[in-house]
Structure 1
Amino acid sequence: VTLDSLRTWEGLFDACCVYEEWTDSLTPDIESDGKAFFAHDYHFDYFQVGIESLGTSFFDGDDISFNSTFARVWQPYARAAISGGLWLGGGYATDPLRTGEVVASVGSSASVLYYTNEVIRADNTSEIVEFDIMPVPTFAGGEKMVMQRGAGICTVKSTPEKEQAAIRFLKWLTDPERNSQFAVSTGYMPVVQEAYDSYLPQCIEKLTDQRYVELYRAYIETQRDYLFYKAPQTDSYLQLEDAFESNVRKHLSAARNSFIESGDESSAALDRLIADSYEQFKKGV
């Protein structure tokens, strides 16, 4: 598996299956103890951005459009999950990364704050690690697209003096030079184009932490080559996201357990579970 092969979702999920098989083979006396390769912090984003990047709408009104593109995006993802190469646990990916339970992840840019240079395993052994950070994978033949989301700032109705002070603070914080400095200290992206053109490269040159150097190299590539997708502003969005995240883990975990318990690791058995889990998932969201 090469780093370049991880630039597409197809290549990444293939690596998940290869890694699970390899780690399982290390202990031939113990069945089905292969490790997960990859964890995604936002399964909802994977589907939403993936489907939109392939030229199809993820939403049908306020509901999910379960079309042929959704099925295409489901296939490699479910194969990796049911095979055991995709992490389906709760919480953020930085948790299994810190213990070596997974070795790759997709998360928010600010998750770099929680990466550690040391992995501590269950047997209390540890090792120093380095990070390779790349832009989010894309589908072969699809647009290069990434989710734009993050913390926002709002003001509340107050006295004219306090409202003016809030506006002044926002202007101060989003000043291109100051915003670039703030961004590189927190893992965020600057919010104005001038920051990228004039200040961010200088800030990156001053970075010494390898994680942040890698992160901002990936940022520059992302900002240059990717389209930024913004989720629709609907009242039901958060509820739908929560239900999606919960149900997708539940149904694929159940399919994974069925795969292990059946003892049938053939491609036909795996294909049946991929199809069955998809139908069950559609009913539950």
Structure 2
Amino acid sequence: MKRNILLVSLVVLIALLIVGGYKIFNGKKEPLNPSRPITITVWHYYNGNTKDKFDALINKFNETIGVERGIVVEAKSHGDVNQLANVVYDAANKTIGSQVMPDIFAAYPDNAYRTNKLCGLVELEQYFSQDELKEFRKEFLEEGRFGADQKLRILPIAKSTEILYLNKTYWDKFSEETGASLDDLNNWEGIVRTSEKYKNYSGRAFLSIDGNANYMLSASMQLGTEFYTYSGDRAKLNFSKDIAHKIWENYYIPYLKGYFIKSGRFSSDDAKTGTVLAYTGSTAGAAYFPKQVAFSEKEVYPIDIITLPYPHYENGKPYAIQQGAGMCITKSDKAHEYASALFLKWFTEPEQNIDFAVSTSYFPVKNESLVKNKILPLVDKTEVSNEAIKKSINTTLDMLDTHILYGNRPFDGSYDMRALLENNLFNFVQKDLEKLEARVATGEERSKVIESLISEENFNRWYQQFSQEVEKIMSK
């Protein structure tokens, strides 16, 4: 009996020595060696405070887990998400003058999908167990699956959505004098009515919309129809004339009538100059909400903020777009793939993930991290660059219970379709605004010109033109 116990103990000891000293990995010797550290490159699009926080966490990893396991993580920002997408695509395509593909890069599904066709992305099920994947919020994880096999190729690390930002200081005065209510700002029809009231009250536009593609996609879902139908890697437009007309009424017409405007690169720029009172924008951009309004160099006034959930249509469902690029691992060798996965596992653990979230206005990705009593105490203790960050986090946590977060599947042509949705209707608006001013300058009455531009004939012209542009992309 004693001999059997001794034998079992010896086997266990040997196993522990093997696992502890050599680290078994998928039935093989672990590919990492602390005495010969490897370098993992990460490309992202973070800037400002978000980049600083990401860099600080990478330093923490390098000084702890990195030293223990033989990993050095080096990160580089490539400006904004579109610049990053282009740099990654050029690298994957081996364009002349392009850089070598990184081990890890941030990507939205559309860019990850087209990159995967060029160089191959790691199927993350190889490095994450089913139990580990179940820890993530389901819709965040599902966004990272694509292709005929629906394998997971994008790991969520920090998410955001869109909300309504409002200049509280000037809203309070406007509301007191006109009876305008915050309740009217939870739906698009109410926002249009409020915008008209504000235009009559101040002579200024009320709203700016930061994400045009997000507006189109979420509006379609809110009105009961997904923008596309899917068949494998292909998709077809599913954008009825009725839904298009609803968007026309609550997007194009308010812009033509001066209720909405977007003159800066970002909507927060228009809020900063007092050009608008409110805007829809990413929660990840909360730090950019202005702390003061500058009507001119001499007219500068401090303001407070209200954050509200993303609006939906009166008779529609409360959909909002989920944002925040996930991380992809480029296919390479086992050591670099494994080290990349190890870093991402560490980054998405609650301690690091919540720390990153509360400092940057993103929100964490695991179910156990998305709990108010875990996040809010840290939010209260954390020094942030802008109080808008804390308020946006509170609003976002509420939206996780009240809204459905949506992300469309990538498909052949989806990257180009995203660009079309972002620019097509907005550019149509801008051209018609130019026509409006030109015709008024020749003596035509503004109200009559507006009526001609918002006509059914002009709507049909846009809808036909948009459909033709879609066909060019989808038929490639």
TM-score, normalised via structure 1 length? 0.87
SS in 2 for 1:122: coil
Corresponding residue pairs, total: 274
Q: Which amino acid aligns with 2:358?
A: V
Q: Which amino acid aligns with 1:17?
A: E
Of residues 317, 340, 348, the one that matches 1:143 is 317
Find the aligned partners of 2:400 and 2:381 in 1 and give their Cα distance.
20
Q: Tell me how far 1:257 sits from its aligned partner.
A: 4.3
SS in 2 for 1:132: strand
User: CA separation of 1:156/1:99 partners in 2, compared to 1, >3 Å: closer, same or farther?
Assistant: same
- Equivalent position of 1:128 in the other structure: 302
Q: Is the 8 A contact 1:259 1:270 kept in 2?
A: no
Matches within 5 A, 1:35-184: 35-59=204-228, 61-63=235-237, 65-89=239-263, 91-184=265-358
Q: Is the 8 A contact 1:37 1:103 kept in 2?
A: yes
User: CA separation of 1:38/1:128 partners in 2, compared to 1, >3 Å: closer, same or farther?
Assistant: same
- Equivalent position of 2:167 in the other structure: none
Find the aligned partners of 1:64 and 1:138 in 2 and give their Cα distance.
19
Find the aligned partners of 1:58 and 1:201 in 2 and give their Cα distance.
35
Q: Deviations over 1:107-129 (max 9, x none)?
A: 11111122231222234421111
Q: Is the 8 A contact 2:361 2:390 kept in 1?
A: no
Structure 2 regions of 5+ residues with no counterpart? 1-179, 230-234, 470-476
- Equivalent position of 1:12 in the other structure: 191
Of residues 188, 191, 202, the one that matches 2:377 is 202
Identity %, equivalent residues? 23
Q: Which amino acid aligns with 1:52?
A: M
Q: Which amino acid aligns with 1:278?
A: F
Q: Is the 8 A contact 2:287 2:388 kept in 1?
A: no
User: CA separation of 1:142/1:80 partners in 2, compared to 1, >3 Å: closer, same or farther?
Assistant: same
SS in 1 for 2:218: helix
SS in 2 for 1:215: helix
- Equivalent position of 2:182 in the other structure: 3
Q: Tell me how far 1:139 sits from its aligned partner.
A: 0.8
User: CA separation of 1:275/1:244 partners in 2, compared to 1, >3 Å: closer, same or farther?
Assistant: farther
Q: Which amino acid aligns with 1:265?
A: S
Q: Is the 8 A contact 1:259 1:273 kept in 2?
A: no
Find the aligned partners of 1:207 and 1:4 in 2 and give their Cα distance.
31
Q: Which amino acid aligns with 2:420?
A: A
Structure 1 regions of 5+ residues with no counterpart? 25-34
Q: Tell me how far 1:87 sits from its aligned partner.
A: 1.2
Q: Is the 8 A contact 1:53 1:142 kept in 2?
A: yes
Matches within 5 A, 1:180-259: 180-197=354-371, 199-207=374-382, 209-259=386-436
Q: Is the 8 A contact 1:51 1:57 kept in 2?
A: yes
Q: Which amino acid aligns with 1:43?
A: N
- Equivalent position of 1:29 in the other structure: none
Structure that is richer in strand per residue: 2
Find the aligned partners of 2:355 and 2:245 in 1 and give their Cα distance.
42
Q: Is the 8 A contact 1:7 1:136 kept in 2?
A: yes
Task: Please tell me whether Structure 1 or Structure 2 has the larger radius of gyration of its CA atoms.
Answer: 2
SS in 1 for 2:335: helix
Q: Which amino acid aligns with 1:128?
A: P
Q: Deviations over 1:224-279 (max 9, x none)?
A: 1111111121232221222233221222233334555241526x953762534422
Q: Deviations over 1:81-114 (max 9, x none)?
A: 1101111435211111111111211111111122
- Equivalent position of 2:160 in the other structure: none
Mean alpha-carbon deviation: is it higher for 199-208 or for 130-139? 199-208
2:448 aligned with 1:273, yes or no?
A: no
Q: Which amino acid aligns with 1:55?
A: G
User: CA separation of 1:276/1:203 partners in 2, compared to 1, >3 Å: closer, same or farther?
Assistant: farther
Q: Is the 8 A contact 1:55 1:142 kept in 2?
A: yes
SS in 1 for 2:308: coil
Find the aligned partners of 2:392 and 2:450 in 1 and give their Cα distance.
40
- Equivalent position of 1:27 in the other structure: none
User: CA separation of 1:276/1:183 partners in 2, compared to 1, >3 Å: closer, same or farther?
Assistant: farther
Find the aligned partners of 1:182 and 1:74 in 2 and give their Cα distance.
39
SS in 1 for 2:208: strand
SS in 2 for 1:75: helix
Q: Tell me how far 1:22 sits from its aligned partner.
A: 2.4
User: CA separation of 1:106/1:211 partners in 2, compared to 1, >3 Å: closer, same or farther?
Assistant: same
Find the aligned partners of 2:363 and 2:352 in 1 and give their Cα distance.
12
SS in 2 for 1:127: strand
Q: Tell me how far 1:11 sits from its aligned partner.
A: 0.9
Find the aligned partners of 1:65 and 1:124 in 2 and give their Cα distance.
48
Find the aligned partners of 2:348 and 2:188 in 1 and give their Cα distance.
34
